[in-house]
Structure 1
Amino acid sequence: MWNSGQGLATFLLSAYLDDQLWGYYDSSTRRALPRGPWIKKAEEDDPSLWDIYTERASSVELHFRRHLLVPAKHHNHSEGVLIRQERVGCELGEDKSKRGFDRFGYNGRDFITFDYKALTWIAVDADAEVIKRKWEADPGFSQRRIVQQEDCLQTLQQFWKYGKEARQRKEPPAVKVSHKVSYDSLETLTCRAHGFYPKDINATWRKDGKPWEQETSSGGVVPNSDSTYHTWISVKIEPKDKDRYQCHVEHASLMEPLDLPRQESASVGRFVGVFFGVMAAILMVAGIIFYRSK
């Protein structure tokens, strides 16, 4: 991120295995640091691990600083805060299929993406076309993406065993139902589920024991800082019908679905059994950014 008024650039890098954050680097510490307890085992097996990632992350930061203002020149963007983002990583399927991705964004929107099959860049607008021609004029620029993908897959396979326990864990949700009277004299019931893992959850409203979707809204499933998730779903009702509604929650950590009425809460981890399963998805997001060539 570049602030043209102050002449300052802030660089942040985060590395994930599936949805588990395992590494972090920023321009203030200038040091790659572990995130999450499971990565400690990898550090024990290779004490030089974070020195290696610090060097690689520093190279990426240098590359970003050198090229940060390139998109801005083509967008005639000379003032204010400029944000350049890159999301790069790889996937390894259960059938041994491989896939890499490398996507650039500029100020919150897509800018240019690399197509690993065609070995070409896909530009989203005329400004990105200028960058595309420049990058494709360098024969080695696209080839370095192939090396980048192989490095990513190697790291993915190396770290997969370390993160296995974290991916298989089941954290039950703490669920609470609250209520508020709105200006139209209707009552809004809000059901919040917090601290659950894995991400998949089914939270719905029921009226008289049957699914109810009218006048409902939800906030999606959002990650917490501790690698768990939270979500909410609300419904507008007539106050006289308040006892007819229940929040219905289904999650892999629950031995049976949970139904909560208005103004009740439950930390279900206290009384619901927890069991372990296996995550099928294999995904590494942003970790390969450590391997970005200059």
Structure 2
Amino acid sequence: MLPGFIERLAWITDNLNTTDIKGALVIQRLVMCKLKDNGEPGQMIVREAFRGTTTDELRYNDNYFTYNSTLNATAEVVKFHLDISMWRHENFYYPHCIKTLKGYLKKRTNQVNRKVKPIVRLLQKANPDSRGSRVMCLATGFYPRHINLTLFRDGQPVSDDEITGGDLLPNDDGTYQIRKILEISTKEQREKHKYTCTATHLNLDNKLDVSLELDHGTPFKPVLSSVLTVLALVIVTVAAVIIWRKKHAASSKDEYSSASTEEIVDTTS
């Protein structure tokens, strides 16, 4: 692969303005191949990037090539480099990638073929920065990685423009998680909405729905009321104990004084 990178570097520096670049020039190459469900070789994708920007993309599938490039080069130059790339892919890159992928799948059969259902949660939390709140739709602990997670408001899907997150992230145990977050403004807090988090996954027989219906004007009223009730009970209990102790102490003192007086009287007689 080294000669290929040297050739690519020469071509890129000839076609891009590199006079303002100081230090090392970096070319990145990403190679991906797939296996079909029946185990047969699938598509292969190769992307190359220079200075963090993709310059070329080549796709190879069923002996058919497609190629896109952002480099400003003549058709003859493109054809020359493309012919070389096609030969390398057919005779080296593609067979080697498929062989490596099959070997990995053979060693990791139990891990790759495992099936784990997602755990879906719908949470609401106050947002002190905006004085509003935040609704989060979370699915975690699932495998394989493909999942559809949708947040609904009053039965209608929330638009992607309103949602943050949505990236698929790995867990420590090899499963995956994904979360979608919706910011609730102070204006919306005065309205009642029903939110539903819906997930569809390979290991779910049916779609999984989790609903949340709260009054955003007082999102923590039930919790606050419970806390105040418990606090009031504690205060009443403590006050009752203090009063009982004072009465008990006074009663004991009176009994002690009476007994002492009777003892003195008996002694005199």
TM, length-normalised to structure 1? 0.52
**Equivalents in 2 of 1:119, 1:245: separation in Å?**
46
SS of residue matched to 1:126: coil
Question: In structure 2, do the counterparts of structure 1 residues 140 and 67 end up closer, same or farther at CA, with 3 Å as the change threshold?
Answer: closer
Aligned amino acid, residue 110 of structure 1:
T
Aligned amino acid, residue 109 of structure 1:
T
Of 161, 166, 178, the residue aligned with 1:220 is 166
**Equivalents in 2 of 1:101, 1:220: separation in Å?**
24
TM-superposed deviation, 1:89: 3.1
Asked if residue 200 in structure 1 is aligned to residue 146 in structure 2, the reply is yes
**Equivalents in 1 of 2:192, 2:24: separation in Å?**
48
Of 159, 172, 176, the residue aligned with 1:229 is 176
Asked if residue 85 in structure 1 is aligned to residue 28 in structure 2, the reply is yes
Paired position in structure 1 for 2:189? 239
Aligned amino acid, residue 43 of structure 2:
R
Paired position in structure 2 for 1:164? 109
SS of residue matched to 1:150: helix
SS of residue matched to 1:205: strand
Question: RMSD value over aligned CA atoms?
Answer: 3.9
Q: Quick check: 2:121–2:139 contact (8 Å CA) kept in 1?
A: yes
**How many equivalent residue pairs?**
200
TM, length-normalised to structure 2? 0.55
TM-superposed deviation, 1:74: 3.6
Aligned amino acid, residue 29 of structure 2:
E
Deviates more, 1:233-242 or 1:105-114: 233-242
Deviates more, 1:97-106 or 1:174-183: 174-183
**Equivalents in 2 of 1:165, 1:105: separation in Å?**
35
Question: In structure 2, do the counterparts of structure 1 residues 68 and 228 end up closer, same or farther at CA, with 3 Å as the change threshold?
Answer: farther
TM-superposed deviation, 1:128: 9.1
Q: Choose 1 or 2 for highest CA Rg.
A: 2
The Cα offsets for residues 247-293 of structure 1, whole Å up to 9 and x where unpaired, read as 33443445662415379xxxxxxxxxxxxxxxxxxxxxxxxxxxxxx
Q: Quick check: 1:115–1:122 contact (8 Å CA) kept in 2?
A: no
Aligned amino acid, residue 49 of structure 2:
G
**Equivalents in 1 of 2:119, 2:204: separation in Å?**
9
Asked if residue 76 in structure 1 is aligned to residue 76 in structure 2, the reply is no
TM-superposed deviation, 1:189: 1.5
For structure 2, the 5+ residue unaligned runs are 220-269
TM-superposed deviation, 1:126: 0.1
**Equivalents in 2 of 1:188, 1:74: separation in Å?**
49
Paired position in structure 2 for 1:259? 210
Asked if residue 145 in structure 1 is aligned to residue 89 in structure 2, the reply is yes
